[in-house]
Amino acid sequence: MAIDWTTFTLEVINFLVLVWLLKRFLYQPVIEVLGRRQAGVARILEEARRVEAEAAERRAQFERRLADWEAEKASLRAGLQAELETERGRQLSALSRTLVAERERQRAQEDHRAAEQRRELEAQAILQARRFATRLLSRLAGPELEGRLIEVFIADLTQPPGDERAGEDRFAGLDLTALDEEGRARIISAFPVAEAQRQRLAAALTARLGRPLPLDWAEDGSLLAGLRLTLGPWQLNLSLADELDAFAQAGNHAG
Amino acid sequence: MESLPALFHLGPLGITATVVTTWGLLLILALGSWLVTRHLSLDQPGLAQTALEGAVQAVDEAIEAVLPGRGGLLLPFIGTLWLFVALANLIGLVPGLSAPTGDLSTTAALALLVFFSVHWFGIRAVGPRAYLRHYLAPSPLLLPFHLLGELSRTLALAVRLFGNIMSLEMAALLVLLVAGLLVPVPVLMLHVIEALVQAYIFGTLALIYIAGGMQSGPEASPATTSPPPAVPVP
């Protein structure tokens, strides 16, 4: 088969035309679409990278903030721990002081209770002693003992003031200015007093007081023995019952 | 050897069946391209668009594999070569039509275009002096061999395609005449494969020749060059 030059030339032209046509209607549009799509994909990728970078930045920021929070939390916790330690120490100290005070209070209460018991025992002992002494002296009491007590009273009255041999001066505080002219002295005895002894007692009183006083005599068996002299607001006791009462009261006061 | 008879005349020009068939292919390809690319969608490509984009990208990647960064420049020529030769080879399967590539005038025209394309793209890539100097490398004594190589490979390009397609058509015709109506079907299947393979070989050889021309100067950096793919040459 030989080359037909007309066909050869036309085929060259045909192919060149075909190249132009396909470039114009096929390759160019497809390449443009592909390019636009690749540009779109590139934009999306760029946007995705930007979002990723932003997310990474936010994540880093969040982690930094978290670290700051953790540090702050640790600091606050340390501060709170220190405060708790301080508060615990303070409360332990206060508790210790309270315990010491409570112990002191209990000890004081115990001492007070013991003192009360001791005082009560002493009072009971004094009461028992008084009863015992009362029973004993009731059996011993009689006119003779009373007479001796009256003699002791008369001796005390006749003792000059300031004489220390007589012991306590029972009449040091007597003030007869409070008695009016009609003032009377009242003498109570456990047994009837003999007339002679009455006169000696009146004489001793007159000598002691500096003026005579009318005397009213009475008897009271509860005195056991001895007498009780009443001068206005004053009362002088020289009886076993009064002495026992004084003993009991002195014991209570001493307790 | 005699050429095909003219079907009609346009003035002094005798129009053969090869030219008419080529015009028909031209029309089909132009109309088809226009129709397919008329409504290309950016976001939701259809099946045809996806296939078309895949095909164009495959051609572009094949060129980029040989000449990195030159896909946009060579795509129209190389892509059209592959497409036209493949269709021209296959059109012979249509009863009553003959493949344009079974005509030596067509294959010679294509080979001549490849020949000039090699120099055109080579001079564009490295400049005329550097391009012409490569014919004297490594020694001016080799200039005749270079020239002979240029002519022989162009001739081989034309004759190889013409011979293969003509022989395929003749074989199919002989089998049809001898064996009956349906017997040549397997032969026709072989025709399809052979047509596609020959189109691939023709386009790839053209690409390699053009790549050789564009990389012939000293400006061609090693980074932009790559070894050409192995092409079976029957």
Domain extents in chain A: 1-116, 141-241
Judged by a CB distance cut-off of 8 A, whether residue B159 touches chain A is no
Structure-derived torsion over alpha carbons of residues B91, B94, B96, B101, reported in degrees to the nearest 10: 20
Those residues of chain A that have pLDDT short of 50 are: none
Judged by a CB distance cut-off of 8 A, whether residue A43 touches chain B is no
- Contact yes or no for A7 and B77 at CB 8 A: no
Residue B105: predicted pLDDT: 92
Written in H, E and C, the secondary structure of B40-52 is CCCCCCCHHHHHH
User: Which of B75, B77, B106 has the CB atom closest to A11's CB atom?
Assistant: B106
Strands A226-231 and A185-189: antiparallel
Per the CB < 8 A criterion, the answer to whether B19 and A18 are in contact is no
Judged by a CB distance cut-off of 8 A, whether residue A29 touches chain B is yes
The alpha-carbon gap from A43 to the nearest alpha carbon of chain B, in Å, equals 14
Per the CB < 8 A criterion, the answer to whether B17 and B116 are in contact is no
Residue B98: predicted pLDDT: 87
- All residues of chain A having their beta carbon less than 8 Å from the beta carbon of residue B40 are 29-30, 33
- Contact yes or no for A11 and B18 at CB 8 A: yes
The alpha-carbon gap from B227 to the nearest alpha carbon of chain A, in Å, equals 26
Judged by a CB distance cut-off of 8 A, whether residue A254 touches chain B is no
Residue A161: predicted pLDDT: 64
Judged by a CB distance cut-off of 8 A, whether residue A22 touches chain B is yes
Return the beta strands (E) in chain A as ranges.
185-189, 215-219, 226-231, 234-239
The alpha-carbon gap from A15 to the nearest alpha carbon of chain B, in Å, equals 8
The alpha-carbon gap from A73 to the nearest alpha carbon of chain B, in Å, equals 52
Residue B34: predicted pLDDT: 92
Judged by a CB distance cut-off of 8 A, whether residue B64 touches chain A is no
Query: Residue A189, Cα to own-chain centre: how many angstroms?
Result: 56
Name residues 164-203 of chain B within 8 A of A (Cβ).
Answer: 166
Q: A50: buried, middle or exposed (CB in 10 Å: 19+, 13-18, 0-12)? A: exposed
Is residue B152, in this structure, part of any structural domain at all? Answer: yes
Structural domain boundaries enclosing B98: 72-224
Judged by a CB distance cut-off of 8 A, whether residue B13 touches chain A is yes
User: Which of A4, A10, A30 has the CB atom closest to B56's CB atom?
Assistant: A30
User: Which of A1, A17, A26 has the CB atom closest to B104's CB atom?
Assistant: A1
Q: What sign has the CA pseudo-torsion B13, A11, B108, B162?
A: negative
Residue B222: predicted pLDDT: 43
User: Which of A22, A30, A36 has the CB atom closest to B29's CB atom?
Assistant: A22
- All residues of chain B having their beta carbon less than 8 Å from the beta carbon of residue A8 are 105-106, 108-109, 112
Judged by a CB distance cut-off of 8 A, whether residue A31 touches chain B is yes
Q: How many CB pairs under 8 A join A and B?
A: 127
Q: CA-to-CA distance for A153 and A170, rounded, in angstroms?
A: 10
Residue A178: predicted pLDDT: 58
Locate B71 and state its tokens.
Answer: 């896909």
Q: What is the ipTM of this complex?
A: 0.88
Query: Could you report the per-residue pLDDT of A4-50, keeping only the tens digit for each?
Result: 889 999 999 999 999 999 999 999 999 999 999 889 999 999 999 99
Judged by a CB distance cut-off of 8 A, whether residue A7 touches chain B is yes
Tell me the sheet residues that pair with A226. Answer: A239
Q: Which residue is associated with the tokens 């007498």?
A: A227
The alpha-carbon gap from A48 to the nearest alpha carbon of chain B, in Å, equals 18
Judged by a CB distance cut-off of 8 A, whether residue B79 touches chain A is yes
- All residues of chain A having their beta carbon less than 8 Å from the beta carbon of residue B76 are 19, 22-23, 27
pLDDT tens digits in sequence order for chain B, 234 residues long: 466 787 888 888 888 999 999 999 999 999 999 998 888 888 888 888 899 999 999 999 999 999 898 888 999 999 999 999 999 999 988 888 889 999 999 999 999 999 999 999 999 988 988 888 888 888 889 899 999 999 999 999 999 999 999 988 888 778 878 876 666 677 778 889 999 999 999 999 999 999 998 887 665 444 444 444 554 444
- Contact yes or no for B105 and A12 at CB 8 A: no
Tell me how many domains chain B contains: 1
CA angle, A170 as apex, A168 and A172 as ends, to 5°?
A: 95
